[in-house]
Amino acid sequence: MSKPIGLGGKGGGNWGPPTSNLGRKKAGPVVDGVKKAARYPPGRVADAEIIKYQKDGGYLIPKAPFNRLCREIVSDLPLDQRLRLQGSAIEAAQAATEEYMVLIMAAAGLGAAHASRATVQASDITLVVNILRVMAGEADKQNTEQEGEAEEDDDGGEGPWGDSGEDEEE
């Protein structure tokens, strides 16, 4: 029997989670005389995928699409600013990108857990990005721009919480 087209010498058939050490599947229920397929208990396949990707050590984003994305971004630059990219530069950018994305997703997972949810939502990621901006000092630049606009629209000296910003002594 010959190999299917597209599955070269580097495997290619290992797309799913590792199933060798997941244990037994639980028998499916019989509904209307038809037996449903056996399934692994909830969470077991996810745990196996986590272990698989932790052991792998490779990139999470495939190299070719990331390379095309980098080259597309560079091609959108004006002609006098176009760059030539070495393979090692793209590889370093990919490593930094993946590390940043993992950081954001891990922090967003903590935010979802804090809200007693198991699912990460877009608001969790937005919160993490805003916190990182504040920590990097970018929020100070945005606040100074907003303060400049607020001075033009003077509302009687009240701050964002309805006070004048000064401690009142009674």
Query: Cα separation of 19 and 24, whole Å?
Result: 10
Strands in the chain per DSSP E? 30-31, 34-35
Confidence of residue 11 (pLDDT cuts 50, 70, 90): very low
17 contact partners, CB below 8 Å, separation of at least 6: 45, 48, 49, 52
Query: Cα separation of 168 and 159, whole Å?
Result: 14
Query: Cα separation of 159 and 106, whole Å?
Result: 35
Annotation: CATH topology of 41-152? Histone, subunit A (1.10.20)
Ranking 21-25, 79-83, 106-110, 159-163 by mean pLDDT, the lowest is: 159-163
Domain boundaries, the chain: 41-152
Q: In this predicted structure, what is the pLDDT of residue 40?
A: 79
φ, ψ (nearest 5 deg) of residue 31: -120, 120
Q: In this predicted structure, what is the pLDDT of residue 9?
A: 44
Q: In this predicted structure, what is the pLDDT of residue 168?
A: 53
DSSP 26: B
Is residue 110 within a helix (H) or strand (E), and if so which, with residue range? helix 87-114
